Structure 1
Amino acid sequence: MFATLASVVVLVSTVMVLSSGRQEAITRARNTSANVVGALARDLGRNLEVYDLSLQAVVDGMSNPEVPGLPAQLRHEILFDRSTTAAYISGIYAVDEKGRVVQARARLLPNANFSDRDYFTVHRDSANVGLFISRPYASRLRNGTASIALSRRISKDDGSFGGIALIAINLGYFQQLVDDIKPGHDGIAAIVQTDGFIVARNPRLSTGDNKATVVSAPEFMKRLTASSGSFDAQSPIDGVMRTFTYARVQGSNLIVVVGPALDDVTAEWKHRSLIIGTLVIVVSTAFTVVVWLLVFAVRQRDAAQARLVTIANTDALTGVSNRRRLDSGLDDLWASARRSGTKVALLFVDADHFKRYNDTYGHDVGDRALQHVADCLSKHARRGVDLVARYGGEEFFVALADSDECYAAQVAEAVRQEVAGPVDEIRRRELPQVTVSIGFIVCRPADGVDLEDMKRLADEALYKSKTQGRNRVTSATFADLLKEVER
């Protein structure tokens, strides 16, 4: 027994250790990636803030009605003196409402129109965009160099569109950032935009994939909606399964993503697990039969316990619930009705003149009569919904869930008729006629009525059935219920 238990413990422990080892390897990779994307996102955020300050200076200057009348040198200093001189900034411009460049940091104004660019149209169509970062595009001023633009709206005195302030940045800047990251043999590092366009990627996409984006994989992009996070997914570009970690660049539509391949991350774990797993399988196979025997023994024990619980909650003579089961089941039914606001019918059922019946026909016949009453009650109760129990001696109790007065009266009358109903002569000799008296009440627990008070009213209704001739159904009246509530 000790050896078997020890083997099971070793097997389970080994599986748990190996499983946790894989997750630990993935967690370590994610933590490393989180540090990288966090640092890179913060660096990008700071640089974007600097670029935005340059844009603000151009916007402020172009919005000042006195600036256009100043000498060219002074005007240039006001507009561009605070602008950044980073190597990857290819140009800073002021563009009028027609899309024409009217001011440039390089002084020489390019002969180009930008009215069709997204960084222009977005500000023309809305006054509340703020800082806008464009999709990657081929520059018209620098022989198609891949670039993105940062832009802000310039508004006239009356609030109408007056043009934009524009900074053009070479994508080489972003590519250099991700090239410095080493994501592993099949891993990737990338900067993408929230609409799915890839700004930079390491490894770089092949020539045929230069325009590749992840826009075609909306489910992938939905996972990048938080400010940062990690998830495992198949790459929508090359199909490699990776564990992606990402962080958004604050104040922008840029997301830094690092995704080492799961095969790379778990390679060492797989090698170690193969050795350990093989040894454990060889050892544990010898104990498989013993383990299954233990499982079968546990199942038999559980089944026996379930049977004992059923026996403990069942009246041995009639097969319906006993008083102990009634107490717990009625509390549950009452609480459920209080939560749902539904009505409950409580019925007391008592065999008429049962002591005389027992004395006349004997206890064996009396027992069969009680079984007959219980069968009739169970027949008209809904299995799994209503509650039927032997309350004591010849008295039974029924709780009908979600029941109104009409339904409760129908059930009570059907039970009364079936218990006393006509039977053939052979059956009559085996079981002489027995009748029952029934008292019931219908109430709504949510109205604040007390369960014990309602049981007492149902019992009083039963007493009325007895005093009025027996073999009848009596309902507690509304006046009875009102008196009980007022009491």
Structure 2
Amino acid sequence: MKKTLDFLSLKLLRKIEIRYRLINSFVLVSLVPLLIAGIVAYRESSSASQEKIRIFAGEVVKQVAQNMLQQIEKIESSSEELVVSERMQGALSAYYSGSESDRAAARAGMTRLMLENYGSFEYINQKYVLDRKHRIIDSQVFAQLGNGVAHFADDAPDMKGRPYWGVYSTAAGQKSVVMLRDILFKGNNRLAGTLFIGLKPTHFSRIFDSVDLGYGSRLFVVDSRDGRIVVSGGQDNSDAVESGLVAAIAQTVANGGKDFTSYQDGNKKKHLAAFAPIPHTDWMVVSTTPLNALNAEVRSIRNKIILIGVLCFIVSFALSFIIARSISLPLKQLVGVMKETKTGNYLIRMDYEGKDEITVLSQRFNEMASKVYQHNEHLEEQVAARTRELELANQKLEALSATDSLTGIANRRRFDEALTSELRRAVRSQKPLALLMLDVDFFKNYNDRYGHLAGDACLRTVAQILRTSSRRATDLAARYGGEEFSIIVAESDSERAIQLAENIRAAIENLHIPHEDSPFGFVTCSIGVIAVQVDDSMSTDTLLRLADAAMYLAKSQGRNRVVLNDGNDITGGSAV
């Protein structure tokens, strides 16, 4: 790498005169940033356009889906009033159980009832009542039409008490958005028939006729089961199938996406699509935008950037030639002066005059030499400051080395140092010294059942109890090892030490940390206490042995208790 740089900078470029190097550098400096900015701007503009479409189209399809749902719920609500009405219930009862004359009257009555409820609505294409076998009860309906309606009802999935929405096309090519609804007898909740209401797609398409997203976008409702378009904007209500779109939406949802995807249509053209499901149906409101149309505006920006780049190249070339000539001539004179310098002493200064860039360069050279000289003068001060910072860092490191990394309280090393120090102080002051040794009951079983992460969390909780219980500055709570903890309580008699231990035991018990492998059903602890008047013959090993013996006695007596060792014999303390 170094050889390549040396070849370019010291051999190849040195063969080119300074003015030509300056001209080329000016051209590169002016064009490279513009080129990079153009590429970035093109990409960001494309991303921004897609993000704008994603946000705007996403909100539009959600609003249209909500409006569609309102229209659907309005039709469902009116149909529900019809199917539970006394006239409908009575006519169906007569149809199934009456004489032939009653059945004829029932058919006529239902026909009148349907005309009364839906005859005045110009957007209603079909309005039929079907019997249990999906035959149209109105005997005046053509057989071919009746068969088509029956087949549609037979193919509909189980409605499970809710209306079903689908698309129905007659043999004549008339397309309807159909609502099927079961009619149940109110007396026994048995199936009485099916309500078939066919609506003109334009009834729904008017919801989004006025929406124009631009960029050649389309807005329509698609059936997620087969990709068939249910309703489109304007007069486009064809039965086109968008299976590729439905597959892309399904893949996006499966990958955790919510309302935006991309796909290729049958002509291999890429589109961006925002979608929103219509609740209680298999339909989705979809807005598709051709990516090519979306990027047209971005391409226009790109062409403008290219034009600006060409103009900048011409201007920068002419400007660089003029500037290069104005610099190269006086620079040669400055180089000649600097070649006469025979020493690297930073006390050397350059004489300068004039107001051009060479004058400024001479001034900056003198300022640099002065700064380097001052920097050398103050180097020792900086070294001293770095030394002080290192000492502070070492102090922090020392504090970290005395802390248990898991629980955040003192570690074994800090505990041993503190116990030795407190023992000496107790000998000098002739005041009692107390030591508590705590062990978490059945902790191995806890680890085996709940895992090491839960075990670590349990130890941190116990350590927090010890930290909050040791309120005096002279008290020290430490992790002794594994699930064992210890607390040094200076200037404390046995009564206070036992009370402190009992408070800790009760606090841990009251946490009610579940422990199914403990007879208590939750995490508990056993605590051994030693509180003695120490003398010169007492050692830290003796204190630890006495406290440890008391703790093991507490465990042997059933655990979850406090036991005191007064230095002579072991006495049971409070227990639950």
- Offset, 1:259: 2.2
Once residues 388 and 174 of structure 2 are traced to their aligned partners in structure 1, the CA distance between those partners, rounded to angstroms, is: 82
The residue number in structure 1 matching 2:178 is 149
Q: 2:164 aligns with which of 107, 132, 139?
A: 132
Once residues 110 and 43 of structure 2 are traced to their aligned partners in structure 1, the CA distance between those partners, rounded to angstroms, is: 67
Q: 2:116 aligns with which of 81, 86, 91?
A: 81
Once residues 145 and 176 of structure 1 are traced to their aligned partners in structure 2, the CA distance between those partners, rounded to angstroms, is: 18
Once residues 225 and 117 of structure 1 are traced to their aligned partners in structure 2, the CA distance between those partners, rounded to angstroms, is: 37
Question: Which has more radius of gyration?
Answer: 2
Once residues 35 and 544 of structure 2 are traced to their aligned partners in structure 1, the CA distance between those partners, rounded to angstroms, is: 66
Deviation readout 1:392-437 (Å, 9 max, x if unpaired): xxxxxxxxxx999999xxxxxxxxxxxxxxxxxxxxxxxxxxxxxx
- Offset, 1:333: 3.9
Q: How does 1:418-433 map to 2 (within 5 A)?
A: none
Structure 1 residues 63, 253: CA separation in 2 closer, same or farther (over 3 Å shift)?
Answer: farther
- Offset, 1:158: 1.5
The residue number in structure 2 matching 1:163 is 193
Deviation readout 1:54-76 (Å, 9 max, x if unpaired): 63465234323577545765543
Q: Which amino acid aligns with 2:191?
A: F
Once residues 152 and 388 of structure 2 are traced to their aligned partners in structure 1, the CA distance between those partners, rounded to angstroms, is: 76
The residue number in structure 2 matching 1:91 is 126
The residue number in structure 2 matching 1:64 is 90
Once residues 224 and 93 of structure 1 are traced to their aligned partners in structure 2, the CA distance between those partners, rounded to angstroms, is: 43
The residue number in structure 1 matching 2:514 is none
The residue number in structure 1 matching 2:222 is 192
Q: 2:298 aligns with which of 253, 269, 289?
A: 269
Structure 1 residues 115, 92: CA separation in 2 closer, same or farther (over 3 Å shift)?
Answer: closer
1:244 is paired with a residue whose SS is strand
1:222 aligns to 2:248 (yes or no)? no
CA contact (8 A) 2:249 2:261 kept: no
CA contact (8 A) 2:228 2:243 kept: yes
Once residues 90 and 388 of structure 2 are traced to their aligned partners in structure 1, the CA distance between those partners, rounded to angstroms, is: 90
Deviation readout 1:154-208 (Å, 9 max, x if unpaired): 1133211222000134557667877876665664432113446332468999x99
2:397 is paired with a residue whose SS is coil
Q: How does 1:293-312 map to 2 (within 5 A)?
A: 312=392
- Offset, 1:246: 3.4
- Offset, 1:448: 4.0
Q: Which amino acid aligns with 1:158?
A: N
Once residues 462 and 123 of structure 2 are traced to their aligned partners in structure 1, the CA distance between those partners, rounded to angstroms, is: 76
Deviation readout 1:244-302 (Å, 9 max, x if unpaired): 3334446644322112234433432344256559869999xxxxxxxxxxxxxxxxxxx
Q: Which amino acid aligns with 2:293?
A: D
Structure 1 residues 115, 211: CA separation in 2 closer, same or farther (over 3 Å shift)?
Answer: same
1:313 aligns to 2:336 (yes or no)? no
Once residues 247 and 468 of structure 1 are traced to their aligned partners in structure 2, the CA distance between those partners, rounded to angstroms, is: 80
The residue number in structure 2 matching 1:385 is none
CA contact (8 A) 1:41 1:249 kept: yes
2:117 is paired with a residue whose SS is coil
CA contact (8 A) 2:277 2:284 kept: yes
CA contact (8 A) 1:33 1:245 kept: yes
- Offset, 1:128: 1.8
1:167 is paired with a residue whose SS is strand
Once residues 216 and 47 of structure 1 are traced to their aligned partners in structure 2, the CA distance between those partners, rounded to angstroms, is: 27
Q: Which amino acid aligns with 1:108?
A: V
CA contact (8 A) 1:188 1:203 kept: no
User: Structure 1: any 5+ residue segments left out of the alignment?
Assistant: 1-8, 284-304, 338-342, 354-401, 408-441
2:76 is paired with a residue whose SS is helix
2:118 is paired with a residue whose SS is coil
The residue number in structure 1 matching 2:376 is none
The residue number in structure 2 matching 1:361 is none
Structure 1 residues 406, 165: CA separation in 2 closer, same or farther (over 3 Å shift)?
Answer: closer
The residue number in structure 2 matching 1:431 is none
CA contact (8 A) 1:54 1:84 kept: no
Q: Which amino acid aligns with 2:284?
A: I
Structure 1 residues 194, 233: CA separation in 2 closer, same or farther (over 3 Å shift)?
Answer: same
2:407 is paired with a residue whose SS is helix
- Offset, 1:83: 0.7
Once residues 213 and 312 of structure 1 are traced to their aligned partners in structure 2, the CA distance between those partners, rounded to angstroms, is: 66
2:53 is paired with a residue whose SS is helix
Structure 1 residues 459, 127: CA separation in 2 closer, same or farther (over 3 Å shift)?
Answer: closer
Once residues 150 and 110 of structure 2 are traced to their aligned partners in structure 1, the CA distance between those partners, rounded to angstroms, is: 27
CA contact (8 A) 2:65 2:277 kept: yes
CA contact (8 A) 1:37 1:256 kept: yes
- Offset, 1:217: 4.0
Structure 1 residues 138, 479: CA separation in 2 closer, same or farther (over 3 Å shift)?
Answer: same
User: Structure 2: any 5+ residue segments left out of the alignment?
Assistant: 1-32, 96-101, 317-384, 421-438, 445-459, 479-485, 491-529, 552-560, 565-572
Q: Which amino acid aligns with 1:222?
A: V
Structure 1 residues 403, 76: CA separation in 2 closer, same or farther (over 3 Å shift)?
Answer: closer
Structure 1 residues 478, 260: CA separation in 2 closer, same or farther (over 3 Å shift)?
Answer: farther
1:79 is paired with a residue whose SS is helix
- Offset, 1:153: 0.5
Once residues 115 and 406 of structure 2 are traced to their aligned partners in structure 1, the CA distance between those partners, rounded to angstroms, is: 78
Q: 1:254 aligns with which of 283, 300, 310?
A: 283
1:454 aligns to 2:460 (yes or no)? no
Once residues 106 and 251 of structure 2 are traced to their aligned partners in structure 1, the CA distance between those partners, rounded to angstroms, is: 53
Q: Which amino acid aligns with 1:219?
A: A
Name whichever structure is richer in helix by fraction.
2
Once residues 307 and 405 of structure 1 are traced to their aligned partners in structure 2, the CA distance between those partners, rounded to angstroms, is: 50
Once residues 299 and 388 of structure 2 are traced to their aligned partners in structure 1, the CA distance between those partners, rounded to angstroms, is: 48
The residue number in structure 2 matching 1:437 is none
1:245 aligns to 2:269 (yes or no)? no
Q: How large is the RMSD of aligned CA atoms in angstroms?
A: 6.0
The residue number in structure 2 matching 1:108 is 141
Q: Which amino acid aligns with 2:112?
A: E
Deviation readout 1:128-156 (Å, 9 max, x if unpaired): 22x2102x4543xx345554421111113
Q: How does 1:199-210 map to 2 (within 5 A)?
A: 199-200=229-230, 210=241
Once residues 309 and 50 of structure 2 are traced to their aligned partners in structure 1, the CA distance between those partners, rounded to angstroms, is: 24
Q: Which amino acid aligns with 1:55?
A: S
CA contact (8 A) 1:30 1:245 kept: yes
The residue number in structure 1 matching 2:407 is 334
Structure 1 residues 22, 209: CA separation in 2 closer, same or farther (over 3 Å shift)?
Answer: closer
Deviation readout 1:341-385 (Å, 9 max, x if unpaired): xx97565456xx9xxxxxxxxxxxxxxxxxxxxxxxxxxxxxxxx
